[in-house]
Amino acid sequence: MSAVKRFLADETGATAIEYGLIAAGIALGIIAAVKNTGTALTGVFTSVNTKLSGPAPAP
């Protein structure tokens, strides 16, 4: 009977799940930040490419 009580009182599995959820949340935040940064950089590089591809200046 005491083994059953110890099993029901053990919270180590719940702690591991909580750490897993925290890690997943941090990973989602990092993915969103990298995606937004990549989109912004694409716009910058497109703008630079457009300006560099324009007509050549007159001599």
pLDDT tens digits for range 36-56: 999 889 989 999 998 888 776
The percent of residues above 70 in pLDDT, for the chain, comes to 93
pTM check: above 0.85: no
pLDDT tens for 12-43 read 777 888 999 999 999 999 999 999 999 889 98
| Alpha carbon distance 17, 23 (integer Å) | 10
What does the mean pLDDT of the chain come to?
Answer: 86
Place of tokens 């050549």: 56
